[in-house]
Amino acid sequence: MARFKRILLKLSGESLMGKQGFGIDPERLDDYAKQIKEVHDMGVQIGIVIGGGNIFRGLSGSQKGFDRVKGDQMGMCATVINSLALSSALEAIGAKAKVLTAIRMEPIGEYYSKWKAIEAMEAGSICIFSAGTGCPYFTTDTGSSLRGIEIEADVMLKGTRVDGIYTADPEKDPTATKSQTLLMMKYITRV
Ligand code: UDP
């Protein structure tokens, strides 16, 4: 018996690139698809939000001279590319998957609505929510929190390269320490 009825899984774009350092590693993608299908086969309804950092991030783009809004739109398109890749990998192993987009772009994916998503999950599809919130100046972490609340998920789970919240990026700073608990106000005052 699964612990949760419905989950929102957030995968960072970077986690898809495997050892390649860029883009999508087909082996990593296949591995994720198998793990997701395994959980789905236990009867858990799954909504997924994928980032786009393996392809493009608006903020880094704007530091290189891109217009921020266009850069963020490029980032959102990157999340659509990752979502299509994951849906394809899921379908290849016999799982039903549906890509919904926060920006209209039929026939690539249907335009997102909470009710469409819930209906599809109830009917046995794994839903992939692409293009984040559809708005610039946000990230897919915000998008996944939003979608998680909207679809009434029991829990939001985040799959990323770092296993918790650290005082600094542990991949860049070897002195970074992991926080066991984090108080919202303490975090806000620190940043
Ligand atoms: N993005 C955006 N609005 C959103 C979600 C994402 O503008 O609601 C853009 C933003 O430029 C971001 C990029 O898409 O940098 C990729 O998303 P994110 O950085 O969250 O990907 P991740 O770090 O999870 O791979």
**Best of 139, 147, 169 to mutate for ligand 1, by most ligand atoms within 8 A of CB?**
139
For residue 37 the two structure tokens come to 């299908």
Q: What domains, with CATH codes, occur in the chain?
A: 6-160 (3.40.1160.10), 164-191 (no CATH)
18 vs 110 pLDDT, higher one: 110
Q: Answer yes or no: is pLDDT of 153 > 80.
A: yes
Which residue, chain included where needed, has tokens 């774009």?
13
Alpha carbon of 1 to ligand 1 centroid (Å): 34
Atom from ligand 1 closest to the CA of residue 14: 25
14 in the Ramachandran plot: left (φ > 0), alpha (ψ -120 to 50) or beta?
Answer: alpha
The mean predicted confidence, pLDDT, of the chain is 93
Whole-model pTM: value is 0.91
Closest among 179, 137, 158, 138 to 14, alpha carbons compared: 158
- Residue spans of alpha helices (H) in 98-139: 114-122
Which atom number of ligand 1 is nearest to the Cα of residue 61?
Answer: 11
